[in-house]
Chain A
Amino acid sequence: MRDLMDKPAARKTDRSIPMEVRQAADDLIMDSTVHLDRMELDAWIECFDETAEYHVIPRENLEVGYGAAVIRCNSLDVIKDRLMVLDVSSKYNPHWDRHFLNGTQYLSYEDGILEARTNFMIVQSSLEGFSKLFVAGHYEDKIVMTDAGPRLRSRVVVLDTFSVPNLIAVPL
Chain B
Amino acid sequence: MKDFASVQVNWPRKDYSRVPYSIYHDPEIYQLEQEKIFRGRCWNVLCLEAEIPNPGDFRVCHVGDTPVVVNRDDDGELYAFVNRCAHRGAEIVREPWGTAKEHTCIYHAWLYNRKGDLKGVPFRRGANGKGGMPACFDMKNHNLVKVRVTSFNGVIFGTFHHDMEPIEEYLGPLFTKHVGEMFNRPVKVLGYQRQRINANWKLYPENIKDAYHGSLLHEFNRTFGLSRLTQVAGGYMDEKHRHSILFQYKGSDSDEEALKAYIENGVKKGEIAGLNDYSMVNIIDENPFGMSTRVMNVFPNCFFHQIGNTLAMRKIRTLGVDAFELTWVLYTYEDDSEEMVQHRLNQANMVGPAGLISMEDGEALEMVHRTTKSAAEEEMAVIEMGGIGEIGDRDTRVNEVTIRGFWAYYAQLMGFAPEGAEQ
Please report A residues at the B interface, Cβ cutoff 8 Å: 1-2, 56, 58, 60-61, 64, 66-75, 77-78, 80-82, 84-85, 88-93, 162-169
Contact = CB atoms under 8 A, between A and B. Distances in A.
Given A56-B354, A70-B354, A82 B349 contact: yes
A80 B325 CA distance: 30
B5 interface: no
B346 A168 contact: no
A3 to B, nearest CB: 9
Given A81-B277, A163-B194, A90 B360 contact: yes
Contacts of A64: 97, 191
Contacts of A73: 349
A42 to B, nearest CB: 15
Contacts of A66: 189-192
Contact of A69 (B273, B275, B277, B348): B348
B366 A166 contact: yes
Interface string B190-225: 111111111000000000000000000101100100
Contacts of B223: 89
Contacts, number: 125
Contacts of A85: 220, 272, 356
A68 B354 contact: no
Contact of A92 (B95, B97, B191, B359): B359
B98 interface: yes
Given A78-B277, A81-B277, A166-B363, A68 B220 contact: no
Given A71-B354, A77-B277, A82-B349, A166 B192 contact: no
Given A68-B330, A70-B352, A78-B280, A164 B196 contact: yes
A64 B193 CA distance: 13
Interface of B: 95-99, 189-198, 217, 219-220, 223, 270-273, 275-277, 280, 325, 330, 341, 345-346, 348-349, 352-354, 356, 359-360, 362-363, 366
Given A58-B192, A168-B359, A74 B346 contact: yes
A164 B356 contact: no
B195 to A, nearest CB: 5
A68 B349 contact: no
A166 B198 CA distance: 7
Contacts of B198: 166
Given A72-B349, A168-B354, A91 B276 contact: no
Contact of B220 (A60, A72, A89, A169): A89
A69 B362 contact: no
14 contacts: A2-B99, A58-B192, A64-B191, A67-B341, A68-B192, A78-B280, A78-B349, A88-B271, A92-B359, A162-B192, A163-B325, A166-B195, A167-B195, A168-B354
A92 B346 CA distance: 22
Nearest to A66: B191
Nearest to B98: A2
Contacts of A67: 190-191, 341, 345
B345 A91 contact: no
Contacts of A78: 276-277, 280, 346, 349
Contact of A169 (B99, B191, B359): B359
Nearest to B271: A88
